Amino acid sequence: MQNYFVTAIGTNSGKTLVSSILVDALQADYWKPIQSGTEDIDAVTIEENLNNNFSIIHPSKYLLKLPASPHAAAKAEGLTIELSDFELPETTNNLVIEGAGGVLVPINDKGDVVIDLALRFNCEVILVADLYLGSINHTLLTCNELGRRNIPIKGIIFNGEPNTASEEIILKLTGLKCLLRINKMNKIDTFEIKKYAIKLMENFY
């Protein structure tokens, strides 16, 4: 069984959408270690779009009220997050772990960041890149940081309006495999999740 860590080049890049597709494609369990903001809880979105009876949604270690970086959201509640607080959920299944924000979002004031969780749990990363003006730079910076930390990247998933020029140069300069391209979606639904899950499995292995 394999642990996959879903991270992105920034906030609102499509990590939860991609996590939904991965959970469906791999019949995997899901876990979001840190949830900041309780108005839209990502685990609820995943559960609403499950297409199987096998996947388990594991509860977040931290469910923080403030929609902010984990270190600030925890501080607002008088908490301090430590890397040692986290242990993998017990499962014999593949596990999809969703990060919070981008790779260098701080989880405390000591310098620990979200992507340190991928290192802690020996995960392979799936990188989500939405395509906007500046996304090439943000994607390359993210890949450089993952490489600097010796974190393996399974591949990249492009999300949003297609931009062939941006996609081609990102793939050329990073050497990454494109696992999937997702068109802009106004709403996540089970039909779209299943459609993209089938496409994902064509490129995943």
State which amino acid sits at residue 127: L
- The amino acid sitting at 120 is R
Summarised one tens digit per residue, pLDDT across range 173-195 is 999 999 999 998 877 789 999 99
Give the pTM: 0.96
* Cα→Cα distances 135→14, 50, 87, 160, Å: 14, 30, 33, 12
Domain residue ranges in the chain: 3-203
pLDDT number for residue 189 = 85
Number of Cβ within 10 Å of residue 193's Cβ equals 22
Of 150, 151, 170, residue with least CA distance to 159: 170
Predicted local confidence at residue 187, as pLDDT: 74
What value does the mean pLDDT take over residues 127-138?
A: 96
Taking only the tens place, the pLDDT of each residue in 28-41 is 999 999 999 988 89
Catalytic status, residue 32: yes
Which tokens sit at 176? 């990454």
Which conformational region is residue 32 in: left (phi greater than 0), alpha (psi within -120 to 50 degrees), or beta?
beta
Active-site annotation holder among 15, 32, 177, 194: 32
Length of the chain: 205
The DSSP code for 106 is: B
Contact 135, 158 (CB under 8 A): no
> Read out DSSP for 64-82?
ESSSS-HHHHHHHTT----
Which residue reads 């990454």 in tokens?
176
**Contact (CB, 8 A) for 131 and 162:** yes
> How far is it, in rounded angstroms, from Cα 42 to Cα 106?
19
Give the CA angle between residues 189, 117, 13 to the nearest 5°: 35
Q: What is the mean pLDDT of residues 99-111?
A: 96
Please tell me the class of the 3-203 domain. Answer: alpha beta
Give ∠ CA 154-115-205 in degrees, rounded to 5.
10
Is pLDDT larger for residue 125 or for residue 50? Answer: 125
First to last CA, the chain: 14
The H-assigned helical ranges of the chain are 15-26, 42-48, 70-76, 116-120, 135-148, 164-174, 190-203
